[in-house]
Structure 1
């Protein structure tokens, strides 16, 4: 039998308004179905449909066997809520039985309806489902998001989610709980996270979180501290520069090349929120780290992060390099992560002040910056060690593993030779 002639199962999305919200074409599919699969709450809306009703098992392996059996019928239809390909059953079935076995007819997702009700765009929102997943699986993405759309589960009601977020220091979102969307008893509740605690909502709800204006990302309070390579969310970061922090993996590589000793004096030039300076201070426990940063907002974050990590040997220095460097003691190690237009001059000045045997590490994000830094460093020392750092982090999504790439970056490092003074 050819692919065109082989019977296909239709996965049909419906809204909370049931048959009334379906198009005429969708109604014809239901009327012509000889087998109708779905959850009990869905099937009871179609008692008048002529097809044989099959209650879909809640566990996916059992449901998969039912769908395989239904594919033997002439016109099978599986009915589910909203868009079957948006945190619905369609992706699971297509992955295991092949896309050619199905036709998907979507309805408006309840997530889309929820954002429409609160009049917020969702094109850049972090969207996910917590059904069967712990809050820890998504909390770090929530922490740094501007907007969040969550399908809650039986174990994660809006009240419990609010408590979990507040316990982790995430208190800077306005919350909207959208219940029974498309039904006569539809309701939208706007509240502070603290106000959601103890409130009851329909199981059919979507929780939307919208970050309040001008609120920085808060540092993660869970888990122990690492000596270096702490997760990015362990540091408070300013907006809109969130995501420009030296990534944990790049930070670890840079610290290895800096070869920091317990008594080292370290400069972090262009320190941002101070993530590298703080980890350098943990390594240089008997030394001192100077975090140079011209932006007032980031300067304050360096101090806050240093206090949170308990590293009194980090000194935040307000100002621009190289001018502000004159009053600092000569370093044993220097990290430059925020090069400006005159970085040729800056590299030369920093290298001149570096103690013999010390290491200079530069982080640049562009090809142009890489070329210029490499050419300048070659005139100062040899060899120049260079890395193109491209990293993808594993992300579990539903029952699959995918990888999210972080922005590629470049590291360059040189050692000031003790015997030549260069």
Structure 2
């Protein structure tokens, strides 16, 4: 308040300036356009200027842009408690691992994608995309498993917190100054998006039914495409997918090897059920879900032309060794690994016992749009190790 009282010029959104009407400084209203804000600051650079914003200026706020545009030495940042922090405090929910987004500079589609793997989501909504629109969009994607809170006018005398399921929120209207929080209901599995435009391979991750967020149980689309190419599938290939998770590799292998037989081997009963649901959703008749632990689970299966192994455990080398005894001569093994320890062990095994051992590191980054700039967020790197079983000597 002392700094505001000493200011000669106060720049801000009209909704913010209304709170400092009694202060004698010149008021300069601006919209959310960042270039307009910079022009206003430059125009009054010979005076003591305060740029007044709501929430935290360094949390999806204007300060990052001003730091880049004008330089950090041009101003001081004096934050208050952010409205996002206040909102989570009001509903008494942790936001340690919450997905946080500002719909003023991030597309609603990114929130839909995040909703499939997030336990909690915190959103700055906008007048163009209010809470009711967010709720309708999520419901339209069959994402009805969130309890919603809309926190209006946080910190002011007319503060209000509304809670309900998404259908209830989709039918209500809220004030423009709000934070929306979505908290996933416990023990509710994910639901896939529409299968319209289904591809033989490289389907988006969202079209597969997945367990309540268990990161790593679904082979990502980009990794899946490369793995399937390394598997060198034929029209009638017999394929084992060991540690199949949600079955995405099995299903796409089944669509490529239309006359073949694909066995999705999974020891987790819940995931085994999801594999069966995905098989039914995609209508692949040549994929069979096998509940059990390798190698016992494959004892009665026909010898494979190709084996895909999801290698997240310490026993992955042993599984590869046992699979090598069953795979047909000339057949291929492709192993998806996340640790360098497993990578070293499996590559050493393949290099000594198999042919054409190859390692591919897959490191994918996706663009996100923030403050009128595109930035790239990298996914964790993964390793694909592939090799071919030698043909029998004549």
Q: TM-score range by the shorter chain?
A: over 0.9
Residue in structure 1 matching 2:198, options 215, 225, 232: 225
Question: Are residues 1:32 and 2:36 paired?
Answer: no
Aligned to 2:304: 331
Structure 1 residue 315: deviation in Å? 0.5
Q: Which residue of 355, 376, 381 maps to 1:403?
A: 376
C-alpha separation in 2, matches of 1:32 and 1:341: 64
Asked if residue 64 in structure 1 is aligned to residue 27 in structure 2, the reply is no
Q: 8 Å contact 1:270–1:339 — kept in the other structure?
A: no
1:366 aligned onto 2:349:
no
1:175-203: CA deviation from partner (whole Å, max 9, x where unpaired)? 11111111222111110111112211111
TM-aligned CA deviation for residue 409 of structure 1: 2.0
Determine if contact 1:132/1:153 at 8 Å carries over to the other structure.
Answer: no
In structure 2, distance between residues paired with 1:57 and 1:181: 21
Contact 1:215 1:239 in 2 (8 A): yes
Measure the CA separation in 2 of the matches of 1:358 and 1:258.
Answer: 9
CA distance in 2, matches of 1:128, 1:387: 33
Report deviation, 1:233: 2.6
- Aligned equivalent of 2:56, options 76, 83, 100: 83
1:168/1:222 contact within 8 Å kept? no
Distance across 2 between alignment mates of 1:316 and 1:341: 24
**Structure 1 gaps, min length 5:** 1-26
CA distance in structure 1 between the aligned counterparts of 2:225 and 2:305, rounded to whole angstroms: 18
Provide closer, same or farther for how the CA distance between residues 93 and 224 of structure 1 changes in structure 2, counting only shifts above 3 A: farther
Corresponding residue to 1:278 among 233, 240, 251: 251
Task: Name the CA distance, whole Å, in 1 between partners of 2:13 and 2:288.
Answer: 61
TM-superposition CA deviations, 1:297-335 (whole Å, max 9, x none): 110111112222222221000111111212111211110
CA displacement at 1:78 relative to structure 2: 1.0
- The change in CA–CA distance for 1:97 and 1:340 in structure 2 (over 3 A counts) is closer
TM-score (norm 1): 0.88
Gaps of 5+ in 2: none
The C-alpha deviation readout for 1:9-29, integer Å capped at 9, x for no partner, is xxxxxxxxxxxxxxxxxx111
Q: Secondary structure at the match of 1:404?
A: strand
Change in Cα spacing, 1:339 to 1:331, as seen in structure 2 (3 Å) is farther
Q: State the shift of 1:67 in Å.
A: 1.5
Give the Cα separation in 2 of the matches to 1:344 and 1:110: 50
Q: Which residue of 2 aligns with 1:187?
A: 160
- Contact 1:322–1:349, Cα closer than 8 Å, also in 2: yes
Contact kept? 1:174, 1:212, Cα under 8 Å: yes
Q: Deviations over 1:346-403 (max 9, x none)?
A: 3233222222222111122212211221222233212311123333222222322222
- What is the DSSP-based 3-state SS (H/G/I as helix, E as strand, rest coil) of the residue aligned with 2:144? coil
CA distance in structure 1 between the aligned counterparts of 2:347 and 2:105, rounded to whole angstroms: 50
Query: Match of 1:216?
Result: 189
- Deviation, structure 1 residue 419: 5.4
Aligned pair partner of 2:169 in 196, 200, 225:
196
The alpha carbon displacement at 1:295 in A equals 0.5
Match of 2:393 in 1: 420
Distance between the aligned counterparts of 2:297 and 2:204, measured in 1? 30
1:16-415 equivalent positions in 2, closer than 5 A: 27-73=1-47, 75-131=48-104, 133-221=106-194, 224-338=197-311, 340-415=313-388
334-343 or 401-410: which moved more? 334-343
Indicate conservation of the 8 Å contact 1:169/1:221, yes or no.
no
Measured at CA, do residues 260 and 42 of structure 1 come closer, stay the same or move farther in structure 2, by a change above 3 Å? same
Q: How many residues align?
A: 394
Do the aligned residues in 2 keep the contact of 1:180 with 1:186 (CA within 8 Å)?
A: yes
Question: Do the aligned partners of residues 101 and 223 (structure 1) sit closer, same or farther apart at CA in structure 2, a change above 3 Å counting?
Answer: farther
Q: How many Å apart are 1:163 and its aligned residue?
A: 1.1
Q: Kindly tell me: are residues 403 and 244 of structure 1, through their superposed partners in 2, closer, same or farther at Cα, counting changes over 3 Å? A: farther
Cα distance in structure 1, aligned partners of 2:283 and 2:313: 30
Cα distance in 1 for residues equivalent to 2:196 and 2:86: 36
Residue 77 of structure 2 aligns to a residue whose secondary structure is strand
Distance, in Å, in 1 between the alignment partners of 2:81 and 2:314 is 50
- 1:237, distance to aligned residue in structure 2 (A): 1.9
Once residues 383 and 98 of structure 1 are traced to their aligned partners in structure 2, the CA distance between those partners, rounded to angstroms, is 54
